Structure 1
Amino acid sequence: MLRRLTLTAIASFAALSAAAPAATAVTPLLPLPPLPVLQGGWAGVPDTETRLTVTVSGSGNPTADGTFELECDPAGGTHPTAQRACDLLAEAARSGDDPFVPTDRNAMCTQQSGGPAAAQVRGTWQGKPVDAQFSQANGCEISRWNNLMPVLPSAR
């Protein structure tokens, strides 16, 4: 019984092996489908796109208040210091820091006020979605704002 199964398998393999070259010789080559695109980048390649909309109000600096577009690689948009802002964001990415993470709710912050300045940053950074709020409400928020300068303007 085992010998019969082995012989059948060998005969089937031989028949398929003989038919394969004939089948490929007759069949014309077809073009390959395009590679799939996932989340703005090629499959398997991380997306490093940075496009942000920065909206600032109450900074005390009339030229800093408003809405600015920031694009990186290459630096551009309507942001007044686009190259410096992109350099800061690139350094944060290299060091593994996320400058858009909100302050921990359990953080101990000094109860000082830096003024009414507020900012919102939306878009993508390193291909990841960003929707972050910034203020000068306490010591932690002031520090967070200052760490993101020049993406955010000086609020004094």
Structure 2
Amino acid sequence: MLRRIVLIATVSAAALVGGVPVAGASPLPLPLPLLSEPADHLTVTVAETGNTRTDGRYELECGPAGGTHPAAEGACERLEQLAQEGQDPFAPVPEDQMCTQQMGGPATARVTGTWQGREVDATFRRTNGCEISRWQTLEPLLPNTRS
């Protein structure tokens, strides 16, 4: 709603200013950064994957892809794909969800920050089939832990 108000106000001001031509003057560019989406920024902390190269704390920026995440571009592409599909990859497994009782290993991850304009604080484990699937949905944001 705020974006729409800013857009209408900006266009209205441009129409008023642009409606009175001044000889030899060129129109000034409008400040468009107000209209752009804020970049996604996530902090990913991974532990006990069994691979010291993937354990650690990473920063991920999307729009454009960057940060210290080892697969930043792929992680941003995956998050964009999930957003386009209308999925919330950070939602916890529903409490009434039936899950297979299997252990996917001791790996854990925590993702915090901002995604799609909202705050994220999600924890991931590989303690049952639902949690393993949830983890795999976020690869390569979270590392592949399969051998």
TM class by shorter-chain length? 0.7 to 0.9
Q: Tell me, yes or no, if structure 1 residue 50 matches structure 2 residue 26.
A: no
User: Quick check: 1:56–1:119 contact (8 Å CA) kept in 2?
Assistant: yes
Counterpart residue number, 2:16: none
Q: What letter is aligned with 1:74?
A: P
Q: Tell me, yes or no, if structure 1 residue 154 matches structure 2 residue 123.
A: no
Task: Evaluate the alpha carbon distance shift between residue 108 and residue 46 of structure 1 in structure 2; reply closer, same or farther with a 3 A threshold.
Answer: farther
Counterpart residue number, 2:54: 64
Counterpart residue number, 1:105: 95
Where do 5+ consecutive residues of structure 1 fail to align?
1-34, 36-40
Partner of residue 64 from structure 2, selected from 60, 74, 77: 74
Q: What letter is aligned with 2:102?
A: Q
Give the deviation of 1:71 after TM superposition: 0.2
TM-score, normalised with respect to structure 1: 0.70
Question: How many Å separate the matches in 1 of 2:36 and 2:85?
Answer: 17
Question: How many Å separate the matches in 1 of 2:129 and 2:87?
Answer: 20
> Secondary structure of 1:93's match?
helix
Question: How many Å separate the matches in 1 of 2:83 and 2:136?
Answer: 17
Q: What letter is aligned with 2:127?
A: A
> Secondary structure of 1:51's match?
strand
Give the deviation of 1:46 after TM superposition: 7.6
Runs of 4+ with deviation above 2 angstroms? 45-49
Partner of residue 115 from structure 1, selected from 105, 128, 134: 105
Question: How many Å separate the matches in 2 of 1:53 and 1:99?
Answer: 15
Question: How many Å separate the matches in 1 of 2:136 and 2:64?
Answer: 24
Percent identity of paired positions between Structure 1 and Structure 2 = 55
Question: How many Å separate the matches in 2 of 1:103 and 1:49?
Answer: 27
Structure ID, larger Rg: 1
C-alpha RMSD of matched pairs (Å): 1.6
Question: How many Å separate the matches in 1 of 2:114 and 2:50?
Answer: 27
Question: How many Å separate the matches in 1 of 2:120 and 2:66?
Answer: 18
User: Quick check: 1:48–1:125 contact (8 Å CA) kept in 2?
Assistant: no
TM-score, normalised with respect to structure 2: 0.74
**Size of the alignment, in residue pairs?**
115
Q: What letter is aligned with 2:90?
A: F
